[in-house]
Amino acid sequence: MDNTKDNELSVDIEERVKHSDHHLIVGLDSVVHYFTLQHSVTLKDSLTGLATKLTDGRKPRFKVAFITNFLFLWRVQIGAEEMDRIMTSAGRRRNKWTNIPEGRSSFGFGIPKDLQTFAFENKFLQHQDPTCVVTSLANAFMYINDANAAYTLMRNKELSLQTNRRLQFVANLMHSMNYKVTRLSDFDILTNTSKWPTVCGLLGSDGGMTHAVAVCGEVLFDGNVTFALVLNRENLNWCCGAEGVAVEYVKVHLGYRFEFTKNVPKHFKHV
């Protein structure tokens, strides 16, 4: 282990926490006792003191885990295999932040009764797997009746998890299938829509960017639910949230749109 002192870390942890999305991991060159700003925790608190402050009086807003040489900041459910992948990546990038990639699952938490559904049953569900990018987009391709694209995505589901650039992964895959791929960033899917499938990395009001959905026209696909949803702000708010957490949709931080501009296959629908 390096003997780097806390005040010599090449990352400014305090500034990053103040202005970040709180869905991050950093591989550290020294063991650091750190804090969440919402709980008046100081840098030098013992782990016992930290735990007391985080749990005193109310459920902590952010989960913070201290493991030798790693600092985690997250507030969403992450499976063990996904955490192993993230730890491996962060371990190779000491003192550099590693974003937790799109993949969050809300499957099994229950669907609010006020969600507006669309009369289309999702063929693919992500269950507890961190496969929201592939699963949501595959359902969108099923909606336009491109089963070949949908099943190609699902066959590459496990391979997509080996990268933290999962939106780019599906973009490259669809490009290989002769789709015209258009990169879109920092836009509002409520106003910038298309009948063609668009995969969207969502940004929530908590700064989180760990979930993705797909959209075709006014239809919203989320791999956590059995039916497609109506594209509206209320449904997007739910997509951005987590169990017991109220989060609002802000924008799509990164998306890709897939279309044929000519020679559209005759069996395609809704395009």
Query: 17-46, pLDDT tens digit by residue?
Result: 444 444 455 554 433 333 333 334 444 444
| Domains observed in the chain | 6-99 (no CATH), 117-259 (3.90.70.10)
Closest CA to 211 of 107, 68, 113: 107
Question: What is the reported pTM?
Answer: 0.72
Q: What pLDDT was estimated at residue 261?
A: 87
Question: How far is Cα 139 from Cα 154, in angstroms, rounded to an integer?
Answer: 10
Percent helix / strand / coil, the chain, rounded to 5? 30, 25, 50
Closest CA to 74 of 17, 31, 14: 17
CB 188 within 8 A of CB 205: no
Query: 58-92, pLDDT tens digit by residue?
Result: 443 344 444 444 444 444 455 666 766 776 776 67
